A = this chain, B = another copy of it.
Amino acid sequence: MSATPLLLKPARLVAGAGDFDQRLDQLLAWESVSDKAVQQTVAEIIDRVRHDGDVAVVDFTRSFDRVTADTMAELELSEQRMAEALKAISDAEFDALQCAADRIRRYHEQQQQSSWQYEENDGTVLGQKVTPLDRVGIYVPGGRAAYPSSVLMNAIPARVAGVSEIVMVVPTPDGVVNEMVLAAAAIAGVDRVFTIGGAQAVAALALGTESISKVDKIVGPGNIYVATAKRMVYGQVGIDMIAGPSEILVISDGGTDPDWIAMDLFSQAEHDEDAQAILIATDGEWLGQVEASMNRLLPEMERRDIIAASINNRGALIQVPDLNAAVALCNRIAPEHLELSVADPDMLLPSIRHAGAIFMGRYTAEALGDYCAGPNHVLPTSGTARFSSPLGVYDFQKRSSLIRFSAGGASDMGKVASVLARGESLTAHARSAEYRIKD
């Protein structure tokens, strides 16, 4: 904690001012650091796990996490240990986890995809078959950033999708176990839990070892070593998006209690110093009130140093002439979280094209979405909402195209394929199609 009082000075911007576009671009700029040394280390860890399997994973875990296990079996948690976690947490915590899990499950069940097919006049059948992934690995950070909510958000969509086996890895540095994380895993229906982490855990999931069957996809957040390892094994397994720092954009008509908005901004800023909280409003005086609230509330916050760094480096209060201008800015920023703290959010919704999750109305604090609203809290960051989606059931299923030509259909289409294949000088393609043409 800092000795001198912290002062929050978010950037104050006015849309349309001469330097506005440039200042906004600077504010939004974000480059993740790609460190050669980290890449080298991770490549070596993956190689060792590839060659030595369990032995390598146990060695790395002893060394990095300072635990005493001699075998992988000692690093797997038993069903009994998982059941104990459910008893170790308070009743209020158990009920809250259970309530959140139920709501997350109900929401994600709406994302179920169905196989379909249709038949053409000549009897040809075309379709699409949806199949869940066989086996999924979930990475859960240990130590300081151990979030039970992440366990629910990653495991439940996989379960709803029909994934047969969910394997969770969570490091326990110095043997410290987070009971809430284990309880969340039990509630979400995780099948196996290993207390391993880092690049060695990612490698074990991607390549398989004697004790860990290789998975088809790895999801979940992690530090730079985990993120680098996920990038490196991508292609052999699927991965979720590599997340940048978390962000919120609040659009307000100035009718919400400034304290509420200040705390909504703080709830993003407290994640880490690179997190970004931006407020857009039509009323400059009200923006000043929010800034005053922020400074009044800051001393009460446990994570005030992180909040101050985030707000002062990357935060902003932006004044716009009207709410349409606010929506236009939103579509430019494509925020991870968008709060529409306005009287009539439905009026703005149709114009919003790019946002990971949209929180509508003054009561819908973003924090509710982090835990128990139902929708996923794993969302596209750094403007990637322009082209990507929240984590969902669709990330744990994939599609296969179905084609069944009737004899007549194959004959008709054989003629078409023949012309096009010869146009591309692919004559084996042409002849394969031509064999099916009836004379």
* Chain A residues packing against B (C-beta within 8 Å): 32, 92-93, 95-97, 99-100, 107, 110-111, 116, 118, 125-126, 128-129, 131, 133-134, 146-149, 180, 216-217, 235, 237-238, 242, 257, 259-260, 263-264, 266-267, 269-271, 301-303, 307, 345, 349, 352-361, 363-376, 379-380, 382, 384-390, 392, 394, 398-407, 409-410, 413-414, 416-417, 419-421, 423-433, 435-436
How far is it, in angstroms, between the C-alpha of A301 and the C-alpha of B387 when the chains are bound? 43
Q: A111-B128, A238-B388, A367-B432 are in contact. List 10 more A-B contacts (CB 8 A).
A: A257-B435, A263-B435, A267-B426, A301-B428, A357-B401, A364-B403, A364-B410, A367-B433, A371-B420, A374-B403
**Copy count, this protein chain:** 2
Determine if A386 and B420 form an interchain contact, defined as CB atoms under 8 angstroms apart. no
Contact status B371-A428, CB under 8 Å:
no
User: Which single residue of chain B is at the shortest CB-CB distance from A384?
Assistant: B235
Q: Measured between C-beta atoms, what is the minimum distance from A257 to chain B in Å?
A: 7
28 pairs, CB–CB < 8 Å, chain A vs chain B: A32-B235, A111-B128, A129-B358, A131-B354, A133-B386, A133-B387, A235-B384, A260-B432, A263-B432, A263-B435, A302-B425, A303-B427, A349-B402, A358-B403, A363-B405, A363-B407, A363-B409, A364-B403, A364-B404, A367-B417, A367-B432, A368-B413, A368-B414, A371-B420, A373-B413, A376-B401, A385-B398, A390-B399
**A398 (CB) vs chain B CBs: closest residue:** B389
Please state if A424 and B237 are interface contacts (CB–CB under 8 Å).
no
Nearest opposing residue in chain B for A304, CB measure: B428
The residues of B that contact A433 with a CB separation of less than 8 Å are: 365, 367-368, 371
Write the nearest CB–CB distance from A146 to chain B, whole angstroms.
Answer: 8
Cross-chain contact A428 with B269 (CB below 8 angstroms): yes
Contacts of A419 in B (CB 8 A): 92-93, 95-96
**A198 vs B402: C-alpha distance when bound (angstroms):** 34
Find A238's partner among B301, B367, B384 (CB 8 Å cutoff): B384
Contacts of A345 in B (CB 8 A): 404
Q: In the complex the two chains form, what is the Cα distance from A271 to B427 in whole Å?
A: 10
In the complex, the answer to whether A134 meets B428 with C-beta atoms within 8 Å is no
Closest chain B residue to A124, Cβ basis: B373
Q: Which of A126, A371, A394, A404 has the most CB of B within 10 A?
A: A371
Minimum Cβ distance to chain B for residue A433 (Å): 5
* CA gap between A303 and B361 in the complex, in Å: 64
Complex contact B403–A363 (CB within 8 A): no
Verify B384–A420 contact, CB threshold 8 A: no
Chain B residues with Cβ below 8 Å from A379 are 401
A421's contact among B354, B360, B371, B373, by CB below 8 Å, is which?
Answer: B371
A385 to B401, CA, bound (A): 11
Q: Which residue of B lies closest to A146 (CB)?
A: B424
Query: Within the complex, which residue of B126, B352, B363 is in contact with A400, where a contact is CB–CB below 8 Å?
Result: B352
Question: Which chain B residues lie closer than 8 Å to A302 at the CB level?
Answer: 425, 427
Q: Whole-angstrom distance between the alpha carbons of A290 and B267 in the complex? A: 66
- List, in ascending order, chain B residues with CB within 8 A of A96's CB: 416, 419-420, 423
CB contact under 8 A between A126 and B149, given known A356-B401, A358-B400, A421-B367: no
Contact present for A358 and B216 (CB under 8 Å): no
User: Which of A146, A405, A406 has its CB near the most chain B CB atoms (within 10 A)?
Assistant: A405
Q: When the two chains form their complex, are residues B428 and A270 in contact, meaning their CB atoms are under 8 A apart?
A: yes
Q: Which residues from chain B contact A217 at a C-beta distance below 8 Å?
A: 387
Q: Shortest CB–CB separation between residue A282 and chain B, in angstroms? A: 21
Interface centre among A116, A180, A372 (most CB of B within 10 A): A372
